[in-house]
Amino acid sequence: MWFSKKSEDIIVELSTNPVEGLSSSEVERRKAQYGLNKLEGKKGKTLIQLFFAQLNDILIYVLIAAALISGFLGEISDAIIIGIVILINAIVGIVQESKAEKALDALKQLSTPKTIVKRDGQLVEIPSEEVVPGDIIVIDAGRYIPCDIRLFETANLKVEESALTGESVPVDKDAEMVLDAPDTALGDQKNMAFSSTLATYGRGVGIAVATGMNTEIGKIAKMLNEDEDSKTPLQIKLAELGKTLSIGAIIICAVMFLVGFLQKRNLLDMFMSSISLAVAAIPEGLPAIVTIVLAMGVQRMIKQNAIIRKLPAVETLGSVNIICSDKTGTLTQNKMTVTKFYCNKELKTIDDLNIENSSEKLLIENLVLCNDATFSETSRTGDPTEIALVEAGIKFNLFKDELEASHKRVNEIPFDSDRKLMSTVNTYDNKFIVMTKGALDNMLTICTKIYENGQVIPLTQEMKNTILDESYKMSDDALRVLGAAFKETPNTNVEISTLENDLIFIGMIGMIDPPRLEVKDSISLCKNSGIKTIMITGDHKNTAFAIAKELEIAEDISQVMSGQELDKLNDEELSEKVKHLRVFARVSPEHKVKIVKAFKSHGNIVSMTGDGVNDAPSLKAADIGVAMGITGTDVAKGASDMILTDDNFSTIVSAIKEGRNIFNNIKKSVIFLLSCNLGEIIALFFAILLGWATPLKPIHILWVNLITDTLPALSLGVDPGDPDIMKNKPRSPKDSIFKNSVGSLIFNGLLIGLLTLAAFIVGIKIHTGSTSLFPLYPSNLTEDALIYARTMAFIVLSVSQLIHSLNMRSEDKSIFSLGLFTNKFLIGSIVLGILIQDLIITIPFLANIFNVINLTGTDWLVVTVLSLIPLIANEIIKIFKRMSNSKKEIA
């Protein structure tokens, strides 16, 4: 019952120091004692469970049945090889699934909320999992509470506790309260803050009293059995495709079996061929391949400073055609510097500020005291704007810690994105002074007087107009303008609502946050890719346009709309105007939702950036919500699909590029697998339909299918990105994965199937010396002739598929221009596949199992020529494609 104890007693009980926090050595000791601050999740599957999960498939059941029947009928080699295929498929599936799980676990670790704690006398930001009992926790608006905390200092702190109590209205917290009733409900424990709840307003400091499973949320184990469905739309579509293929395979197999029965073929052979064809028709490894390609792609994105929180975002990224981006820190360097100030009717550079002048000194004191940033030689924490103000004070030996020591803060109203103001109440000798800073236009509406050269005089409308004119000059120079005001208040018990009225205007400062050097190139790249960049900022309209023009986002002031103008439009009017807009200035987070909806109303796929608590609705409304990893609140991160660890616009563009490449690589794998499987169906189906001897035994098909379902497909999944991918327009999310590829799929499937049949025919001709087609019928063939011909068909089927994987790297670029060795994994897969095939026919033990024989040099020449035809044919087709594309570009 921590709520019933005084904070002083808890400090003693937990052996902590509210000023210094815990020492590093003590933290390590407590970690060992209490463990990590996290809830226990679901236990992972054991190796045995994973293995049986891989076998839980209708086609695997059919294969097992086929193996048992083969063994029962004395076909031991067939039974063994089917068993090996099942086993290898299961092992590959386990490896792929475990890799995908590890990749997803790594993502969860990277997106763990951060917490500010006091340790070794310093404020440090750590992953919330590392919090231990006794830690001194600093809470500000927008952060999740990392553990159960007994508060000992609060300033207008409100916490939303719906995750625990179900009550959505934020609760006011009061550190001074001590509750005696032992049965006080959680919702009434106002001196406590609980794990997984959310600070929505104000700030506070407290002691961690319970972590992990010992917290209130841990006791009810609310999150223990959450099982998130991480399947992407693509995976769902491919699962549906698998069902369609299954039905088609069953129909084909039934027709094959019926034809074979009418032709009075061996029913066991027909049964085995039908089953192997069913398995060949469906790429069982496809879901696992898609998952691992997505997971590996996401890992690559992490290295480029983009954390993907939800796998569907990877697909959506490739379709983004609108990027709505905050200016500060994303398009700019987030290194604000005060360059100018206006005071005593004069606009000067900051270097000309006279600290001996009472008005100018009060201006700087106001900006340093009305400020939540912390600044030391070793660390700087807080909003970049506030850090810049503290740095401006240091220029004139006005150090924040010294000022706060002599002018103690006794009350405050935190910054609010609607008010665009912040106020503190500080002691000045025996007086209390309200210090307010914020947006100039909002401030002038609440100021009635002005402080000039030590005198307080009425603030006339003419003076306001002059001040605004001077602010426009600063804005035209791309400076962000902040106003400062003050007033004296009789005591600290004044109503909060009255602190920000009847203020005395002191002056204003202008600061600049220069554009990031690389952003201009990224915006140009977006423009060439059919992606529009929209800048959103709280800055003045002129300031916003100055930056937008420099970055080539906007060309004319007519492309800029302010928040006030936006408020005057209904949804339909904004939807019409938004087509021509590129910049939104002086907007609040609430406006962002309207902006997103307006762009989406035209069928656009919209990405939106955000970092604040109030940005969460717009991040959810966007197709891709992008949170800032450095300045972003936990709420924004929780609502996002992607987190930027460097808060850089260029990272969004890199993520879009990577998203496009990931989708392309998955498409390559899918089309490759299906074209290969189609080739196997055609080879068997045509031969049986024509009454010929079957060109392949069931174990041949199963083995070839195993090879093409794993290494080559996976290697295509990690193919190096197409350097020209950003020259293409964004992909429509409605487009099928087979768009522009159906013809290639059918052509290559037919080609591989016919080449396999051609190898079978050539093998028969070489062995029998006959020129007639009739020896292809079973009754006219000896067992030796069949083994010889099937060996050639087996090799051509497998090698032609492996060679065909090279064609899949690009739809129109030659493999020779791409570079044969730019995907070393694919080359390794091809070489390994050919080597395995060679070992199968040359090692007597394996040759007996597969019922094949060693080939002569002449045979290998024939097989090589036939296997290379898919590569040659596709290279010729690509030449015509490139000629066609060149003509279109010229036209």
Q: Which residues are catalytic?
A: 326
Supply the angle between the helices 58-72 and 76-110 in degrees, to the nearest 10.
160
Name the DSSP class of 515.
Answer: B
Name the DSSP class of 429.
Answer: T
**Residue 839 CB neighbour total at 10 angstroms:** 11
What is residue 414's three-state secondary structure?
A: strand
User: What is the sign, positive or negative, of the torsion defined by CA atoms of 14, 17, 22, 23?
Assistant: negative
- Nearest residue to 123 (alpha-carbon basis) of 50, 22, 1, 27: 22
- Nearest residue to 315 (alpha-carbon basis) of 773, 731, 853: 731
List all residues 6 or more positions away from 844 whose beta carbon is below 8 Å from its beta carbon: none
Measured distance CA(832)–CA(824) in Å, rounded? 12
Structure tokens at 723: 């350097």
* CB 830 within 8 Å of CB 713: no
Query: What are the two backbone dihedrals, phi and then psi, of residue 665, each rounded to the nearest 5 degrees?
Result: -65, -40
Structure tokens at 274: 């039908």
* CB 714 within 8 Å of CB 807: no
Measured distance CA(657)–CA(304) in Å, rounded? 11
What is residue 206's three-state secondary structure?
A: strand
Name the DSSP class of 557.
Answer: G
Name the DSSP class of 854.
Answer: P
What is residue 789's three-state secondary structure?
A: helix
What is residue 77's three-state secondary structure?
A: helix
Query: What are the two backbone dihedrals, phi and then psi, of residue 748, each rounded to the nearest 5 degrees?
Result: -70, -30
Measured distance CA(351)–CA(392) in Å, rounded? 10
Measured distance CA(788)–CA(651) in Å, rounded? 57
